[in-house]
Amino acid sequence: MELSDKIALSLPCKAEYVSVARLTASGIAYRMGFDIDTVEDVKVAVSEVCSRLINVSKNSCAEYEILYEIGDNRLKITFSSKNIERAGCIFEDDKDGLGVAIIKAFMDEVEFCPDNKDYILSMTKFIEEKS
């Protein structure tokens, strides 16, 4: 499956900009044809990652990037930052595991803590075929 369109978003590591990431995800997912419940799921997953990035950055993050990649039947969302010290795994100290559980429940594929990658986390949602 080839990804066709890419939309890049660079945001300051401030909580007040998480809504921009959510709104962008919502608009893209809706435009792709996801149903309203799935659009909400994608927004929640994006919020969870953004909030976690901001919380673990401990003022070491000036900004982070989100890349929305649109394919025929999927939306892939990748998060990266050049400024976060522990860019390897932002969920390593998620003691109750709630953030990880939320993201896994709402997205079809998630790559947490990638080794030797230029991103922090990648997650994908597939459009279900309508019969």
The pLDDT profile of the chain, 131 residues, written as one tens digit per residue, is: 465 899 999 999 899 999 999 999 999 999 999 999 999 999 999 999 999 888 887 766 688 999 999 998 999 999 998 766 544 578 777 767 888 899 999 999 999 877 777 888 999 999 986 54
Has residue 131 been placed in a domain?
Answer: no
Q: What domain range is 83 assigned to?
A: 3-126
Has residue 28 been placed in a domain?
Answer: yes
The pLDDT of residue 85 is 55
Has residue 99 been placed in a domain?
Answer: yes
Q: At 127, list the tokens.
A: 């459009």
Q: pLDDT of 67-80, one tens digit each?
A: 999 998 999 999 99
Has residue 49 been placed in a domain?
Answer: yes
- In CATH, what number is assigned to the domain containing residue 103? 3.30.565.10
Q: At 73, list the tokens.
A: 């039947």
* pTM assigned to the model: 0.89
Euclidean distance between CA atoms 46 and 107, whole angstroms: 10
Is residue 7 a contact partner of residue 31, using CB atoms and an 8 Å limit?
A: no
Count of domains observed in the chain? 1
For residue 35, the tally of other CB atoms under 10 A from its CB is 13
Residue 129 amino acid letter: E
Residue 7 DSSP SS3? strand
